[in-house]
Amino acid sequence: MKDFVKKVIIFFLPLLILLIIGIIYLPQNNNDYLIKKHYLDEHSNDIETLILGSSHTYYDINPEFLSSKSFNAAYVSQTIDIDAAILFKYTHNWKHLKTIIIPIDYFTLFEQLGTSMESWRLKKYANYWGIEQKAMQSGCWHQIDVMFDIYKDRFRQIITKQCDSVTCSSLGWGNIYKAAYKTDLVKDGKIAAERHLLSDSTCFSNNCKLLNEIINFAKANNSRILFLTTPAYKTYTSLLNSVQLNKTISTIKTIVASEDNCIYINYLTDRDFLETDFHDSDHLNEIGAKKFSNKIDAVLTKPDLKPIFLNYK
């Protein structure tokens, strides 16, 4: 038995050595997570408008069209718990932060990354942001798994001969959804609506608590919060579950009504957004993003904003 164990160790030792060498010496490829972290490491004290949230704000709001110094820290499948972790990571910064933008979409309050199909992204936040969530496992094997994820990223870099894996601008906006390419809005609307139908009451309760923590943080920093529901195409909105949607909207309205530093605007069915503005049924292309960003800027530049509820039809 001992001889067998020795042979196994001898067999795997070269692989282990290669793994360690690869992690240490392979150049770290650039990616969206690193771009966002590095920007906030250097510029969080200068930011006036911080955009958080999922792919809806990642692709829909371009800081280039906001008058204030802005950065888009949203990302694909990013949930409220990750938003809060990013915000609190720089607790002692944000010296000029005036506005925090947080999307409250159909699925937002019912989901956290660790319980979703995209839970594998937790390792990305651990590796590149230094953000560890409770949903992640602990212990030695977890650390090995997280470390191996970095190795996989770097190994993929060599195999694909791509130095970077970047889908965002220098200001964090997801800039790959071009008007020249568009998905089947009817087919995509059905798929997206089904994917976003959720019923996790635990996530709902936890997310509401996190929203209150973010609101209190904003108050302590003399900042306001703009909650918004992003535009979507009719092939998506027409298939949304009314119970889930109404609970989402009524919850955020109740929260905003009791807070003097919060605003909520519902753009979900805003008719200003045409078929040509959408990349797919619930994401804007670069044309729609410019239009939406200009709308947001018009709100942010008002001298005195009171808590308001706008529901576009």
In tens, the pLDDT along 30-78 reads: 889 999 999 999 999 999 999 999 999 999 999 999 999 999 999 999 9
Q: Which domains does the chain have, with CATH numbers?
A: 33-114+167-311 (3.40.50.1110)
Model confidence, pTM: 0.86
263 close to 226: Cβ distance less than 8 angstroms: yes
In tens, the pLDDT along 111-159 reads: 999 989 999 899 899 888 989 866 555 544 455 555 555 666 665 655 5
- Provide the pLDDT for residue 244: 96
**Core vs surface per residue 21-52: b (16+ CB within 10 A) or e:** eeeeeeeebebbbbbbbebbeeebeebbbbbb
In tens, the pLDDT along 83-109 reads: 999 999 999 999 999 999 999 999 999
Give the Cα-Cα-Cα angle 261, 202, 129 (nearest 5 degrees).
65
Contacts of 294 by beta carbon, 8 Å cutoff, 6+ apart: 65
User: DSSP for 11-41?
Assistant: HHHHHHHHHHHHHHHSPPPEEHHHHHHHHHH
- Provide the pLDDT for residue 165: 76
Give the Cα-Cα-Cα angle 179, 161, 34 (nearest 5 degrees).
65
Report the C-alpha gap between 78 and 147 in whole angstroms: 21
Residue 313: count of CB within 10 angstroms of its CB: 7
User: DSSP for 142-180?
Assistant: HHHHHHHHHHHHHHHHHHHT-SEE--B-TTS-B----TT
In tens, the pLDDT along 188-234 reads: 999 999 999 987 888 999 999 999 999 999 999 999 999 999 999 99
Copy the structure tokens of residue 30: 């650039």
Is the pLDDT at 174 greater than 50? The verdict is: yes
